Amino acid sequence: MTDKHQPPHGVKVQADVSKERKPKIVGFLCNWCSYAGADLCGVSRFQYPANIRLVRVMCSARVSPHLVLDLFEAGADGVLIGGCHLNDCHYMTGNFHTEKRVGLMKRLLREAGIEEARLRLEWISASEGEKFSKVVTEFTEEIRRLGTSRVLTDDMMKVRAASADNASETFRLKALIGKEFNLLNKGNAYGDKLDPEKLGRIIDTAVVDEFERALILELAGIRPMSVKQLGMVMDVPTDRILKHIVLLRQNSKIAMEHSEGFTPVYRTVATGDER
Ligand code: FES
């Protein structure tokens, strides 16, 4: 069994230069509730740590998985998403979608090896200035306990974070993210509502598949690798890797570079080179 986070050949692990680094946290707040709550917090002179950078969005549902995972890939230590309480969203069901999206983002973070606790979702109304201060203080403490993101110090973690980000952009996951709330509450095209457990299993499978495929593409983009090598670096059985390779080859995402004896070695097809 190999260490999941062991770097592939050609990927170096940098020295830890970040011992003294202060946690870097980004907060996305919806315009109508949480941002107003943060405003009230300031006006009321409640204190909160200065490590957080706030971004105002019209609704918490505007925060896409790509946006959040891109921040983690860039080395953010934590991301906070604040929205209106359920049933209070200015756009009716926006925050219900946010809840589902955050669930999917956490699943992808888990696959990447990034602690799920680094992503937090909170409902904060315009009148909850004190709650905003409490949430930011607690979250900053939690992030301090978790320490600096390993994405900054471990190149294999950066590869995994990039793979999680790329997986979130695949058609399959985007479609599931967009439809999860409606499939559970309104039903499919025939009006049949899906069982939450069954849909959860479908999403789990899709997340693992898409993450592993994205990771294969990242690794074989750094240097050509065989199925066995990919399996060892990723700690995934070779029959699963082979299944992914077959599909990626069908979609012209990966190609055989050369063979070593009878072993084919694959490389990722650069964007624009697909046939
Ligand atoms: S407007 Fe606040 S969560 Fe949608």
Structure confidence by residue, pLDDT tens digits, 65-120: 999 999 999 999 999 999 999 999 999 999 999 999 999 999 999 999 999 999 99
Spell out which residues line ligand 1, taking CB within 6 angstroms.
30, 32-33, 59-61, 83-84, 89-91, 94-95
CATH 1.10.10.10 domain span(s) along the chain? 223-275
The architecture of the domain spanning 223-275 is Orthogonal Bundle (1.10)
What pTM was computed for the model? 0.87
Q: What CATH class has 25-149? A: alpha beta
Question: How far apart, in whole angstroms, are the C-alpha atoms of residue 117 and residue 136?
Answer: 13
Q: Give the position, in ligand 1's atom list, of the atom nearest the Cα of 34.
A: 2
Question: How far apart, in whole angstroms, are the C-alpha atoms of residue 254 and residue 33?
Answer: 46
Q: Which of 39, 87, 89, 96 for mutating ligand 1's site (highest number of atoms within 8 Å of CB)?
A: 89
pLDDT surpasses 60 at 140: yes
CATH 3.40.50 domain span(s) along the chain? 25-149
Token digits for 17?
A: 């230069």
Q: Give the position, in ligand 1's atom list, of the atom nearest the Cα of 89.
A: 4
Residues 6 or more apart whose Cβ sits within 8 Å of residue 153: 13, 14, 15, 16, 17, 18
Q: Which of 90, 92, 99, 127 for mutating ligand 1's site (highest number of atoms within 8 Å of CB)?
A: 90
